[in-house]
Amino acid sequence: MAVTWSEDAEGVMRLPSGRLVRGRGLRRPLPPGPEPRFAVYLLGKEPPPVAWQARWLRWPDFWLPTDRREARGVIGEAWERAAAERVEIACGGGYGRTGTALACLAVLDGVPAGEAVGYVRAHYHRRAVETPWQRRYVRGFRAGANID
């Protein structure tokens, strides 16, 4: 039985496949409603524990993940789990790193890599993916490819 987000919940983005993923900034309070079942936290230092299953990717603010192979695996896991679970992707502000990871999810979901940033800006937040190197990372993120 699928336990996913409501499409109109705060920060929720629908991928072309119908998967729903919530993006958010950890510096803001947890939005009202159900908690995630699985979360990916994109931060420079380990986040405090949460009541749900979570993975931490070391990803400094305004930069890229420090281990791109690990990032690919964790983003892939988030995409797979979003088919049946409430998945949250979050960083400090909820725009740069979160937007970059959401754009990578969009690529895994079939959005061409060159269009993924625009997709996330249109369906999540206009400020998503903040730096030129984050945009380049998304363009290089292809379904089925390793990123080193």
Q: Cα separation of 116 and 106, whole Å?
A: 6
pLDDT at res. 143: 59
Q: What are the tokens at 131?
A: 């730096």
Instruction: Give residue 97's identity as a one-letter amino acid code.
Output: R
Give the number of other Cβ atoms within 10 Å of residue 135's Cβ. Answer: 17
Query: The domain 12-139: what is its CATH number?
Result: 3.90.190.10
Mean pLDDT in consecutive groups of 10 residues from the start of the chain, 148 residues: 83 96 95 94 93 94 89 95 97 96 97 96 96 93 57
Q: What is the pLDDT of residue 93?
A: 95
Residue 148 identity:
D
| Euclidean distance between CA atoms 93 and 86, whole angstroms | 20
| pLDDT at residue number 147 | 44
Cβ proximity of 146 and 69 under 8 Å: yes
73 neighbors 67 (Cβ within 8 angstroms)? no
For the full predicted model, state whether its pTM sits above 0.85.
yes
